Amino acid sequence: MSAPTTPVVELRDIQLSFDTKTVLNGVSLAVEPQDRLVILGQSGSGKSTILRLILGILPPTEGSVFFKQFEVSRLARRKLQKIRTQIGMVYQYSALLSSRNVRDNVALPLEELTRKTPAEIDKTVDEKLELVGMNGVKNQMPSELSGGMRKRVSLARALVMDPELILFDEPSAGLDPVISSVIDKLIISLTEQSKVTSVIVTHEMDSAFRIGTKMAMLYQGKIIEMGSTEEFKNSKHSVVRQFLSGSTEGPILEGSQDAIAT
C-alpha cells in the first residue's frame, strides 16, 4: 500500500472578508500532484482571489493556505519569495511588459530571482519559447503579437523557473474558440510533459472540460461540489447543473439583481 501523497496546495476552512463583505466563507480544497484542478464559478465569486491566496498576495481572514508543507500566510518575506519561485502564474490578459521584447519578458523571473549568467538565461529562454512554439519571435514586442501568441509567451514565462505549480487565471480570455482550443491543448501537453500541478480559474465550459482532471464549483463563498470532470457532467446539484447548462432557470438567478424581470 503506497503512502499518501502531500497535496501540492491545500486550503483549510478559508474565510476572507473585506470590510463587511464576505468573499470566501469556509473554503476547503486540496490539489494533489499533477492534478489540473479547474475552479468554476460566476464572475466576482472569488475564483481569482483563491489564486492570490495561494501566492500569498492576500492573507486569509481565517483559516490556512498551504503550498506543500509550508503555511503560506505565516512565511517570512524571504521564504515566501523563495516559495514563489516554485509557482508559475499565467495572467488573464498575459500581463506582458509592453516596453520589453519577448525575450526580456520571459527572462524577467530569471534575472530577478536567480544568479544565472546572461548566457544561461538566454539558453533557458530559448528552450521555453521552443516548448510553446514561439522561438521565432524573441525580438518582437508584445504589441506585435496576436492574443494567442501573447498567451504562449506568458506560458513560457510561467515555465521558465521550472515550477511545481502553475496558476492560470482565465487562460482563454479574449481568444476566439479555435485559438482557445490550441491554448488548452498546449496547457495539457506542457503540464503532462513537465509533470507540473495546475489550478485553472475559468468560466468557459468547453475549456474547463478539455483541460481539467478535477473540478470545483465556488458558489456564495463556498465550494459546493468537487470531483472529476465526469462527476461534474453527471452532477445532481441544481446550482452546478444550471451553471454548466447556462440556463436562466434555477437557483443562481433566484433573488439576484441579475435576474431579468418578465
**pLDDT of 26 strictly over 60:** yes
Q: Which of helix, strand or coil describes residue 106?
A: helix
The pLDDT assigned to 3 comes to 54
Interaxial angle between packed helices 147-159 and 102-113, expressed in degrees from 0 to 180 and rounded to the nearest 10: 20
pTM of the complete model:
0.90
Residue 132: partners with Cβ closer than 8 Å, 6 or more residues away: 152, 153, 155, 156, 159, 186, 190
The pLDDT assigned to 254 comes to 65
* pLDDT tens string 166-219: 999 988 888 888 988 999 999 999 999 989 999 999 878 889 999 999 999 999
Closest among 156, 4, 179 to 90, alpha carbons compared: 156
**pLDDT of 261 strictly over 50:** no
**pLDDT of 258 strictly over 50:** no
**Contact (CB, 8 A) for 96 and 154:** yes
C-alpha cell at 125: 529562454
**pLDDT of 253 strictly over 80:** no
| Residue 25, burial from CB neighbour count under 10 angstroms (0-12, 13-18, 19+) | middle
State the sign of the Cα–Cα–Cα–Cα dihedral 53, 54, 59, 65.
positive
What letter represents residue 66's amino acid?
F
Closest among 46, 43, 5 to 27, alpha carbons compared: 46
Q: How confident is the model at residue 252 (pLDDT cuts 50, 70, 90)?
A: confident
Q: How far apart are CA 255 and CA 110, in angstroms?
A: 50
pLDDT, the chain, mean: 89
The pLDDT assigned to 2 comes to 52
Q: How confident is the model at residue 245 (pLDDT cuts 50, 70, 90)?
A: confident
The pLDDT assigned to 256 comes to 54
**pLDDT of 162 strictly over 90:** yes
What letter represents residue 75's amino acid?
L
Element (H, E) at 80: helix 77-84
C-alpha cell at 117: 549568467
The pLDDT assigned to 255 comes to 47
* pLDDT tens string 115-147: 899 999 999 999 999 999 898 899 999 999 998
* pLDDT tens string 223-239: 999 999 999 999 999 99
The pLDDT assigned to 114 comes to 87
Q: How far apart are CA 216 and CA 236, in angstroms?
A: 14
Q: Which of helix, strand or coil describes residue 132?
A: coil
